[in-house]
Structure formats: structure tokens, C-alpha cells
């Protein structure tokens, strides 16, 4: 694991701890943002992995973006849910199971208009940055 990966992992762990300690509220970069915790199952390890992600609600679903700041590779959480779409979502103090699906291209274009930062990230990479819908199942 690179130093950058270790730093990101430490940062994510701090955000996750703060989120869980404060009923879903965090400071710093995410202060005031709509934030959830997404727990996926590792496609290779089978272990649970949790990622803090910004979200929007569309059509009763939570929408998150696999941007990774416009890097050339998808984030690990996206690869995990592509292999195993059953995930756990935490919003505020609420925990629930969900099914994750990548939105189709028509909906993706509509969502891009609502997420200007994703447009900026898309300009930095040749991969198509996916939007993911999380639909509650329990």
C-alpha cells in the first residue's frame, strides 16, 4: 500500500469514527454535506469495508458517485459492489441494507447536471465515472 493510500485510509477511518460518534455529523471537508457510510464486501477478501461518501436523494434512492477525484481507476468500494451489490448504508443514526446498481447512461447525464464537481473530475480521466443508486431493502 502506498503512503497516499495509507493517508487516505487514516483519513477515512477518522471520518467514519466522527460520523458514528456524532449521529452522522462531521466537521472539516464534509461539514454540512450530506454524508453516508457505505459498507461493501471485499471482492477478494470477503471482509467488510466502509467508505464515507457524499450523496443526494433521487427518486427515493441514495445516489453516490465513484469519482475517486477523477483518478484513472475506479475506487475499491465500487469494484466491491459491482461484484456483490448487497451493501449496508448508514445515514445519521440509521443503518439499513440496500442493493447497489450503476445508473444507466441517460440518468447519468441528468445527474451530471446536478453534480458540477463530478463534471470537473470527469474532465481529468478517460474512464466514465459511474453514479450508483442505493435502494433500501430493509
Q: What pLDDT score was predicted for residue 4? A: 42
> From CA 64, how far away is CA 83, in angstroms rounded?
17
Indicate the domain borders of the chain.
3-136
Asked whether the beta carbons of 65 and 71 are under 8 A apart, the reply is no
Each residue's pLDDT tens digit, 63-115: 999 998 888 999 999 999 999 999 999 999 999 999 999 999 999 999 999 98
Q: What pLDDT score was predicted for residue 17? A: 94
More confident residue, 61 or 3: 61
DSSP 14-43: HHHHHHHHTTT---GGGTTS-EEEEEEE-T
Question: Helix (H, G, I), strand (E, B), or coil: what is residue 16?
Answer: helix
What is this structure's pTM? 0.89
Fold of 3-136: Pnp Oxidase; Chain A (2.30.110)
Amino acid at each position: 500500500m502506498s503512503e497516499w493510500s495509507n493517508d487516505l485510509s487514516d483519513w477515512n477511518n477518522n471520518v467514519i469514527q466522527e460520523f458514528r460518534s456524532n449521529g452522522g455529523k462531521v466537521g472539516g471537508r464534509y461539514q454540512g454535506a450530506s454524508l453516508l457510510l457505505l459498507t461493501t464486501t471485499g471482492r477478494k477478501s470477503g471482509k467488510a469495508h466502509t467508505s464515507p461518501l457524499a450523496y443526494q436523494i433521487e427518486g427515493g434512492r441514495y445516489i453516490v458517485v465513484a469519482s475517486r477525484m477523477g483518478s484513472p481507476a475506479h475506487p475499491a468500494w465500487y469494484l466491491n459492489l459491482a461484484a456483490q451489490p448487497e451493501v449496508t448504508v448508514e445515514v445519521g443514526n440509521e443503518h439499513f441494507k440496500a442493493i447497489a446498481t450503476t445508473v444507466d447512461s441517460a440518468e447519468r447525464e441528468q445527474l451530471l447536471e446536478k453534480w458540477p464537481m463530478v463534471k470537473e473530475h470527469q474532465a481529468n480521466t478517460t474512464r466514465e465515472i459511474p453514479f450508483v443508486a442505493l435502494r433500501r431493502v430493509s
